[in-house]
A and B are shown apart, each in its own frame.
Chain A
């Protein structure tokens, strides 16, 4: 290329680059003038639609009550991956993740206060869910409880507990059920899970992936899923295609929320982020949550939605020793889940 072309090109590049910079600068100034405060809620995958609606309601409330304009942005992804991105510097003011353990990791890094779980009602869990079964319409394999999952040629779809937070709830629901059977011991629970995973043909990496495998690709006879995902699948894709089966015992799934103290104080958003977290417990937000198939913790709202949520007997993670212990025992490298696969691998 002759030198004059090069310089002409670089002149053009400079011009274009300069214009782009100037453009984005005006754009940035424009938006920052309009949006007084922006909050970032780093959340896990199945809450995308839920938080879109809650965020809009919160912004409107703020405008009406104090006249201030607040925009809440949401980032969605797998719970563990989201925790990691906050750990590595994603500017989250709030995290709402699939398991307490993921927020514990942030507390370990000093991003979240160590006592985070005690700072908001219900273990910092504004709405809960549980683990249920989704089966094909008419329940052709007659699946009613956990025992039925390991009968004959039943194929079970559940994601990989190693890569999916949701799958850990599934796994622990099964574990807890097995422990609570008469004569149930750690050994019998382990034997049950080993048998269960022999009926799992695919370990999808994430919960939505597993739902897709079951719903769209027609894989398997039963999907172990969060109740909100199961309800969503039936309502969105037609109640004529699937039935929801509630097992005799399941786990109380508590996806918690927390203020990311370190980031919020840097951004000067601590107060407003705290308001946002408290807003999640108001009847208005609780009602939105119920609409998105999460179980409200507010008893009045819960009563008004009682018809949509079947009664279910649950145990919580604390009864298994809490997330730190559970994580180490079951899902760490060489833990019980790994042993299940090592044995028949």
Chain B
């Protein structure tokens, strides 16, 4: 590309060329793609008066579905934290052969259609699947239970952790670890006291993103979940159920509650992240 070879001028002395145009198109784009649908989503449940929302708020099945969604998303994100950290560490610090392939593989869950993921996982963990069959002999069933949902959400959530932590770890000078070693810290102490604290804020945001994605995930989950009301039914499926009933108000009510819940989660994570970061800085000073 031509622009790659052009010398880049410093940003502070030179504002973005065509600033107005850039700002205008950014606002227009965000407005059309993000804000407008969100506004429609927020306004729709009230269109038929307060009734729809109050009915939705009394629906035990909806609360069961929300609980399934939140609990499984939380567990999956939690399991992904150590796994993701280990993976990122290996990716950044260990010169593995085929590292680039692993690197590309990590982004794959972003790219594959979620339904394909779901069908593949269901086949793999199903009663006749490569993993499902031996596991069934051990009396463990993953597919068609909440465990299946967690597996699917781990798959779609992992890249969020890795890609959040990776740049921070890459920016962390290895000298710090070497210095810790020279000062007599064991490798465990180095990891525990030097590396992990610096990665904590990034890990928290990765966790938050994976969690929020997990709450809203539909395609990869419905094929492996079992979809039993009150047990393995996720909230996004209930939205589809309401739509099938041509109950638009009910569907948007659930969607609205999901939206608010996810926003609260993200806000909570952002706050936690700030607090952790501030704690780190004050700890250093």
Contact = CB atoms under 8 A, between A and B. Distances in A.
Interface of A: 1-3, 5-6, 8-9, 78, 80-81, 84, 105, 160, 162-163, 201-205, 209, 212-213, 216-219, 331-333, 338, 341-342, 345
A204 B228 CA distance: 9
A209 B223 contact: yes
A341 B229 contact: yes
Contacts of B237: 163, 205
A78 B241 CA distance: 12
Contacts of A216: 123
B54 to A, nearest CB: 14
Contacts of A80: 243-244, 246
A35 B81 CA distance: 57
Interface in B167-218: none
Nearest to A345: B230
Given A218-B126, A345-B64, A345-B229, A163 B241 contact: yes
A8 B222 CA distance: 48
Interface centre among A6, A81, A332 (most CB of B within 10 A): A6
B194 to A, nearest CB: 39
Query: What 7 A-B pairs have minimum CB-CB distances, sorted nearest first?
Result: A345-B230, A218-B128, A217-B126, A341-B229, A203-B227, A162-B241, A3-B17
7 contacts: A162-B244, A201-B226, A204-B223, A217-B126, A217-B128, A338-B229, A341-B229
B61 interface: yes
Nearest to A84: B243
B122 A333 contact: no
Contacts of A212: 119
Contacts of B222: 204-205
Given A202-B227, A218-B126, A105 B247 contact: no
A213 B122 contact: yes
Contact of A3 (B18, B226, B246): B18
A338 B6 contact: no
A343 to B, nearest CB: 10
Contacts of B226: 201-203
Contacts of A202: 144, 226-228
A1 B22 CA distance: 12
Given A2-B6, A202-B226, A341-B229, A217 B122 contact: yes
Contact of B245 (A205, A332, A345): A332
